[in-house]
Each structure stands twice: as structure tokens, then as C-alpha cells.
């Protein structure tokens, strides 16, 4: 049986698998809105929130270079073991998410307001009726003008459209 010794971080013990303890008490982490594990720690009398994967990476692997992000090798945001973490560019991190199917966009995003079906229907309707005003489309579709405005200008897309756009950007070095 292997016993891990935690690294000291302002009186907290941070273990290689992402467990954080204060004395004998295991701290309870929480998931943020994007599904990353975070933890609230009191540092010098002030409550601060930390991403567990960043904390583990910086303590067990080393500091991140400027322009690098901490990435999960298996794209599992809950697996915060230091051997599952690496530093890479944000561009490569997004490419991994696209390849693994874990990139959150469209219907897969936890805070989605409009479905891909609604966006696609609106895109088709606007393409077929380009002269109709945003106000008129809003009145007949019961969708907000801001959404119609964004769809008309290409700012709102379906998940698949966003994935295709990202893959194209990654392939062409943008």
C-alpha cells in the first residue's frame, strides 16, 4: 500500500490526487459552472477559491509558463491526479476537447438558453427572408431580438457549426 504525503500549501495538505486536508479534516470541493473541481481555502484570513487541477499541477509538476494552461490528459475535469495533468496552449487544449467530444457548446453547454434546433431554424428562416426586420421576426417567432440580431451576424451558431469552425481554425493555424 502506497501512502502519499501531501505538499504543504499555507497550512493545507494537497495530495497528488487532488485531495486537500486541513489537519485531519478533508476539505470539501465543489464543481463550478463549467464542471471543474474548485476548493475554497482561507489564506491569510481571506477566503480564496482555487481550481484543484491548477493547485495540484503547480505543487507537483511546477509553475505554468506564460501563455500555457493546465490540461487534463483524459479530458475528465474531475480526475485531478498530477499524472493526468499537463501544460499546453489553449489552442491545443481546445483541439483535444474537439477530438474527445468534450467541448461544451450548443445543447451540450450547461447554461444553454436556446437549442441548436432553434438556432438552425432561425438561420434558415433569416436566409430565406433576408429583408424581414429583426423586430418582425421576433414578434412572429417569440424569440428575443438580440438573439435574431446575433444569428443574422453569425455570432450565434449550433454546436456542430462551432466545432467545424474550431477544427478549421486549428487546421489552418488560426
Position 1 in a domain: no
Same domain as 126, residue 154 = yes
Per-residue confidence band for 1, with pLDDT thresholds at 50, 70 and 90: very low
Whole-angstrom CA distances from 47 to 10, 11, 22, 156, 161 are 12, 14, 14, 37, 40
Q: How far is CA 80 from CA 7, 84, 104, 131, in A?
A: 15, 7, 19, 52
Q: Are residues 12 and 57 in the same domain?
A: yes
- What pLDDT, on the 0 to 100 scale, is given for residue 39? 96
- Domain residues for the domain of 135 are 106-171
Q: Which of 169, 22, 30 is nearest to 90 (CA)?
A: 169
Residue 96 lies in a domain: no
Indicate whether 110 and 81 sit together in one domain: no
Judge if 82 and 33 occupy the same domain.
yes
Q: Do both 26 and 68 map to the same domain? A: yes
Tell me, yes or no, whether 61 lies in a domain. Answer: yes
How many independent structural domains does the chain possess? Answer: 2
**Longest CA–CA separation in the chain, Å:** 71
User: Considering the entire predicted model, what is its pTM?
Assistant: 0.64
Each residue's pLDDT tens digit, 47-63:
999 999 999 999 999 99
Q: What CATH number does the domain containing 31 carry?
A: 3.90.75.20
What tens digit of pLDDT does each residue of 30-51 get? 998 888 999 999 999 999 999 9
Amino acid at each position: 500500500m502506497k501512502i502519499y504525503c501531501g505538499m504543504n500549501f499555507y497550512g493545507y495538505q494537497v495530495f497528488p490526487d487532488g485531495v486537500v486536508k486541513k489537519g485531519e479534516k478533508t476539505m470539501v470541493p465543489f464543481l463550478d459552472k463549467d464542471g471543474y473541481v474548485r476548493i475554497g481555502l482561507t489564506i491569510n484570513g481571506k477566503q480564496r477559491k482555487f481550481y484543484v487541477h491548477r493547485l495540484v499541477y503547480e505543487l507537483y509538476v511546477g509553475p505554468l509558463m506564460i501563455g500555457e494552461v493546465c490540461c487534463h490528459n483524459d479530458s475528465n475535469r474531475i480526475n485531478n491526479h498530477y499524472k493526468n495533468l499537463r501544460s499546453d496552449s489553449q489552442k491545443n487544449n481546445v483541439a483535444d476537447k474537439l477530438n474527445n467530444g468534450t467541448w461544451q457548446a450548443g445543447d451540450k453547454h450547461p447554461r444553454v438558453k436556446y437549442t441548436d434546433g432553434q438556432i438552425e431554424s432561425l438561420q434558415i428562416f433569416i436566409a430565406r427572408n433576408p429583408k424581414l426586420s429583426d423586430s418582425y421576426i421576433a414578434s412572429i417567432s417569440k424569440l428575443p431580438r438580440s438573439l435574431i440580431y446575433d444569428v443574422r451576424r453569425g455570432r450565434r451558431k449550433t454546436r456542430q457549426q462551432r466545432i467545424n469552425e474550431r477544427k478549421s481554425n486549428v487546421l489552418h493555424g488560426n
